C-alpha cells in the first residue's frame, strides 16, 4: 500500500459489561493499530476525522479516518514513522511527524505532499514526542547524542538508559523555516517537552527514567533557556508521572503516587505563582488527560508500574477501567473497561497503553487496547447518568 490508498473499516459496537455504555472498536483486531500520544491532537476540530497509526501493509504508518464513512486514507508510507508523536495542525490542514528519528515532516492532508521541515544533525537522534505551540508556528523536541543512543524497545533498556546519563538537549524548531535553537542541554535523560498553551515563553520538560530514581520528574524553562526550575520537590517515597498541560493553558496537571500505597493523587501546578495544589484522590491510573478547560479528566487504570526500580515497593492490583473525574464535585466514575495487557509488543513499550483522551465535544473517550487481539482503537461513550464515587 502507498499514500492515498483507502482502507474500509468494519466497526464492532458493543455494550460495556460493567457500565453498559456503548463501546465501538474502530480497527480490526488482527491489524496493529494505535492512537498517538494522549496530549497530541488527533481529531479534526469538528470531531469527524481521526488520526491514527496502522500496520495495514507491514509498516506502522499514519492514516486519517473519516469516522462516519468508516474509511481511512493512508497519509505516510515506508518504515520509520514515529507513530506516537505525530499531530494534526490546529487548522486541520497538515500532519507533522518525525521519520527515522531524523526528519521532521509536514504532510498536506489534501494533496499528501510531504515537506521536510527540519533534519536532526548527524551526531544527534530525534527522540520522543515533539509538541507544537498553540499557533503551530514552532515546536519543542528532544535530541539525544548519537553516541549515547540505543533504541528503547523494552523496560530493561529503559532502566539501563537512565543510568547512562545520556547527553540530551531540548530545542525549538521554526515550522516554516526549519531554523532551530537549543533551549537547554544536560547530561541527563530529558523527555516530554511541551509548550504551555497560549504562552510560548514557558516550556515544560521532564527528567526521564525510573520514577523512584529521578531527582525530580517535572521541570520548567523559559523559551530563551533561562530560569530552569523544578515543578515539584518529591516527598520521601513519592513518584510523579504523565504530566500534561490543561489545553487552555491554565495549569500543568500530573499524577503522584507513594511507595506502598494503592491509590494516587491528582495535582495541579500553577506556573504563574509556582504553587502545587492537591486536586483529588484517584484510583491507580497511569495516564491522565483533561478536556479543554480542565473540568473533566480521564485516566486509565493500571497495575504495578514498570517504570520504577523498586517494583516490590510499588506493587498494586491491576485496574482494568477507564475513569472520568469531575473536578468540581471531587468525584469520579467508571466509564468502561479497557482490559489492555500493558505488554511490550512488537518492540514497543507504548503500543498497548490506553492513552485515553476526550473527543472534541467531551461526549466520548478515545483509547487503545489489545483486549481483542492486537492493539486496536476504541471509542467509549460517556455514561448519561454515571454512578459517582467520592474521592
Cβ neighbors of 191 (< 8 A, separation 6 or more) are 127, 128, 142, 205, 206, 207, 208
Lowest mean pLDDT among 43-57, 91-105, 305-319, 371-385: 305-319
CB 84 within 8 A of CB 350: yes
Question: What's the whole-model pTM score?
Answer: 0.93
Backbone angles phi and psi of 256, in degrees to 5: -120, 140
Residue 267 pLDDT class (50, 70, 90 cuts): very high
pLDDT for residue 112 = 98
Number of domains making up the chain = 1
Residue, of 148 and 86, whose pLDDT is higher: 86
Q: Of 58-72, 116-130, 202-216, 296-310, where does mean pLDDT reach its minimum? A: 296-310
265 pLDDT tier (thresholds 50, 70, 90): very high
Q: Please, which pLDDT band fits residue 286 given cuts at 50, 70 and 90? A: confident
**Strand pairing of 264-270 and 252-258?**
antiparallel
Task: Indicate the average pLDDT of the chain.
Answer: 92
Q: What is the pLDDT of residue 154?
A: 58
Exposure on the CB side of residue 323, measured as CA atoms within 13 A? 27
CA–CA separation, 100 and 79 (whole Å):
8
Mean pLDDT in residue range 83-102: 97
What is the model's pLDDT at position 350?
A: 86
Cβ–Cβ contacts within 10 Å for residue 220, how many? Answer: 18
- Give the pLDDT confidence score for residue 149 in this predicted structure: 82
Q: How many CA atoms lie within 13 A of 2 on its CB side?
A: 1
Taking alpha carbons only, the member of 120, 77, 33 closest to residue 351 is 33
pLDDT for res 296: 98
Closest by CA to 291, choosing from 234, 247, 350, is 247
Cα–Cα distances (Å) from 365 to 28, 100, 324, 333, in that order, read: 18, 30, 9, 13
Q: Among positive and negative, which fits the CA dihedral 320, 325, 330, 334?
A: negative
pLDDT, average across residues 334-353: 91
58-67, 255-264, 371-380, range with the lowest pLDDT? 255-264
Output the pLDDT for position 315.
Answer: 45
| pLDDT given for residue 376 in this prediction | 98
Range of the domain at 265: 5-390
- Whole-angstrom CA distances from 126 to 61, 69, 84, 104, 145 are 18, 36, 13, 9, 9
Distance CA 232, CA 236 (A): 12
**What pLDDT was estimated at residue 317?**
56
CATH of the domain at 188: 2.130.10.10
- The x, y and z cell numbers of residue 380, run together, are 467509549
Tens digit of each residue's pLDDT (9 = 90 or more) over 184-236: 999 998 999 999 999 999 999 999 877 567 779 999 999 999 999 999 988 88
Q: Kindly report, residue by residue over 158-188, the tens digit of the pLDDT.
A: 667 767 788 999 999 999 999 999 999 999 9
The proportion of the chain whose per-residue pLDDT surpasses 90, expressed as a percent, equals 78
C-alpha cell at 303: 497495575
33-34 sheet: strands from edge to edge: 6-8, 71-74, 61-66, 49-54, 33-34
Average pLDDT of span 142-165: 76
Amino acid at each position: 500500500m502507498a499514500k492515498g490508498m483507502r482502507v474500509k473499516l468494519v466497526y464492532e459496537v458493543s455494550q460495556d459489561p460493567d457500565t453498559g455504555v456503548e463501546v465501538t472498536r474502530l480497527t480490526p483486531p488482527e491489524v496493529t493499530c494505535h492512537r498517538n500520544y494522549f496530549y497530541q491532537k488527533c481529531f479534526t476540530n469538528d470531531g469527524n476525522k481521526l488520526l491514527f497509526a496502522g500496520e495495514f501493509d507491514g509498516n506502522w504508518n499514519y492514516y486519517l479516518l473519516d469516522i462516519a464513512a468508516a474509511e481511512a486514507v493512508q497519509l505516510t508510507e515506508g518504515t520509520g514513522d514515529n507513530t506516537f508523536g505525530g499531530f494534526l495542525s490546529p487548522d486541520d490542514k497538515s500532519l507533522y511527524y518525525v521519520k527515522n528519528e531524523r526528519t521532521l515532516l509536514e504532510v498536506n492532508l489534501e494533496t499528501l505532499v510531504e515537506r521536510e521541515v527540519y533534519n536532526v544533525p548527524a551526531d544527534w537522534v530525534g527522540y520522543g514526542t515533539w509538541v507544537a505551540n498553540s499557533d503551530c508556528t514552532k515546536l519543542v523536541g528532544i535530541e539525544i547524542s548519537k553516541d549515547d543512543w540505543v533504541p528503547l524497545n523494552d523496560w530493561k533498556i529503559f532502566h539501563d538508559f537512565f543510568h547512562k546519563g545520556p547527553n540530551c538537549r531540548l530545542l525549538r524548531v521554526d515550522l516554516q523555516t526549519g531554523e532551530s535553537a537549543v533551549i537547554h542541554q544536560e547530561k541527563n535523560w530529558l523527555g516530554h517537552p511541551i509548550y504551555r498553551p497560549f504562552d510560548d515563553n514557558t516550556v515544560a520538560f521532564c527528567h526521564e527514567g525510573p520514577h523512584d530514581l529521578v531527582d525530580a520528574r517535572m521541570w520548567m524553562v523559559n523559551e530563551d533557556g533561562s530560569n530552569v526550575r523544578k515543578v515539584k520537590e518529591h516527598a520521601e517515597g513519592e513518584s510523579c508521572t504523565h504530566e500534561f498541560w490543561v489545553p487552555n493553558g491554565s495549569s500543568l496537571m500530573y499524577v503522584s503516587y507513594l511507595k506502598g500505597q494503592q491509590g494516587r493523587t491528582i495535582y495541579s501546578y500553577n506556573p504563574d505563582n509556582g504553587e502545587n495544589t492537591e486536586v483529588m484522590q484517584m484510583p491507580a491510573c497511569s495516564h491522565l488527560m483533561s478536556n479543554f478547560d480542565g473540568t473533566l479528566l480521564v485516566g486509565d487504570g493500571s497495575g504495578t508500574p514498570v517504570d520504577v526500580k523498586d517494583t516490590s515497593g510499588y506493587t498494586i492490583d491491576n485496574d482494568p477501567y477507564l475513569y472520568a473525574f469531575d473536578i468540581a464535585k471531587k468525584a469520579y466514575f467508571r466509564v468502561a473497561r479497557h482490559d489492555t495487557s500493558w505488554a511490550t509488543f512488537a518492540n514497543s513499550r507504548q503500543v498497548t497503553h490506553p492513552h485515553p483522551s476526550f473527543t472534541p465535544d467531551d461526549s466520548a473517550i478515545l483509547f487503545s487496547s489489545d483486549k481483542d487481539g492486537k492493539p486496536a482503537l476504541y471509542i467509549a461513550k460517556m455514561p448519561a447518568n454515571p454512578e459517582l464515587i467520592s474521592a
